[in-house]
Amino acid sequence: MRKLKLTGSIASALVLMSVVSSPAVSQDLSDGADNFYRSQEVAMQKVAFDNQYKMQVVGNLFTPEDFDETKQYPAIIVGHPMGAVKEQSANLYAQKMAEMGYVTLSFDLSFWGESAGEPRNAVAPDIYVEDFSAAVDFLGTQGFVDRERIGVIGICGSGGFSIAAAKIDSRLKAIATVSMYDMGGATRNALNNSQTLEQRKAVIADAVEQRYVEYEGGEMEYTGGTVHELTGDTHPIQREFYDFYRTPRGEYTPESSSPELTTHPTLSSNVKFMNFYPLNDIQTISPRPMMFITGDQAHSIEFSQDAYARAAEPKELVLVPGAGHVDLYDRVELIPWDKLETFFETNL
């Protein structure tokens, strides 16, 4: 198994813990957890398109019941959590929105899942953001999509990526985030600004030293992600992620990866998030509407609250009672589908 480097603070989105292989345990399927939902009302087609860097992005295109390709439909792009793939949360949201009458597209970010990019699991926020615009390119050139009615749902880290895309891509007409993570802020400062400047510098020092190792042909190292074994000392946030990523509830390993590497970015590239500021100038998205959905018990709530405070009208902050961060990945009885339906019906 490739080495996993311990760096930083557990308060990051990708809490930094060691990896120990262990079988998946029983998952918590309360509140209708259904990550691998398969709708009987929509059709799915695998699609691929290039981003501006000529890297192939692979996605799933969902079309609503009684789809007529001679008509034009509003469309919604759905981005998966950071470190995940489209089969984790994004497909669920895409199918549910397709059931409401939208053409929807879930896709793998570059370097993850079925999309192109080497080394695998590399962090490249600029390219991630470009992938969202490339998805607009693809949808907006389909005859059955109304290119003036394209929206986006960004889950977890993709919430930040979709906001960054919308700042420079006015074709995204309505922007919704769910359990949004500002990966830049989380990597620089950790949750609740708990990472010191000295700790940040130590993380950078480890990453740049690893660049020498890889340049000279040494072994790749990985960081962050979700633990592979629970112990009595496992942090509650890691337990939350473990229940999704390391049990049958949401565990998924794409062909391009291996179980011990899923969710773990490369150590030498992860510091690129420190130069990523998706919430800066967020007010320039106005007058296009934004909606930020977060659980009122989510460890990540600070990012949605910060984004909402900075954004200009029209904007809405939706707090889901009793919900944590990962709950909104797949717990269909907690996810506020009615809010999403009204938001896009009104704004697309």
CA distance 119 to 142: 31
CA distance 49 to 52: 10
Domain region containing 152? 3-347
CA distance 243 to 271: 26
Q: How many domains does the chain have?
A: 1
pLDDT in tens, 322-333: 999 999 999 999
Q: pLDDT below 70 — which residues of the chain?
A: 1-25
CA distance 268 to 211: 6
pLDDT in tens, 12-53: 444 333 333 344 457 999 999 999 999 999 999 999 999 999
* CATH number assigned to the domain comprising residue 83: 3.40.50.1820
DSSP tag of 285? G
DSSP tag of 194? -
Pair 89, 329: CB distance under 8 Å = yes
pLDDT of the residue at 80: 98
Pair 47, 61: CB distance under 8 Å = yes
